[in-house]
Amino acid sequence: MQHHLTTGVAEHWLVGVEQSFRQAHLRWTPPRRAIVAWIAARSVPFTAEDLVADLARSSRATSYRMIEWLRGAGWITRLHSDPRQHAYIRIGPGHHHHLLCIGCGMTRIVQACTIDQSLERMIAGTDFAIQGHVLEFFGLCKQCQHECVVQ
């Protein structure tokens, strides 16, 4: 099964993360650099355990802290498609939603979001302060749809 992730060019992502890291006045150490380079090279969703297993020279604690920092800074996001295990994908800062193929695992980022306006209308007058939302669409990509028809 081939998985693809369309989230932008890995090199630009890597440079952006490094700049963001330095602007936060954090040390750009070799283990941190290795973690970020590993994530930049990934074209599929990954788990923290994938990262730990592949980067034996980086400690488990450093790996988990980097994942949390990258999530907080908006450079990766957690997918909610598997409630038993958190998977992550690299993104750029900003608001995103995801299209997930349940056949091959391909993930696409959806940039445009009109959900916010709908949510604002829906919660108006409820005295509830929304802090964010997660939206993932599950389905079959064009290739998997074709394979289902052929089978």
**113 marked as binding residue:** no
**95 marked as binding residue:** yes
**25 marked as binding residue:** no
**104 marked as binding residue:** yes
**4 marked as binding residue:** no
Rounded distance between C-alpha atoms, residue 21 and residue 66, angstroms = 10
- Is 58 buried (19+), middle (13-18) or exposed (0-12) by CB count in 10 A? buried
Rounded distance between C-alpha atoms, residue 98 and residue 50, angstroms = 21
Cα-flanking dihedrals φ and ψ of residue 140, to 5°? -115, 130
**144 marked as binding residue:** yes
Rounded distance between C-alpha atoms, residue 101 and residue 55, angstroms = 28
Binding-site residue numbers for Fe cation are 95, 133
For the annotated binding site for Zn(2+), the residues are 101, 104, 141, 144
Q: Which residues are annotated as a binding site?
A: 95, 101, 104, 133, 141, 144
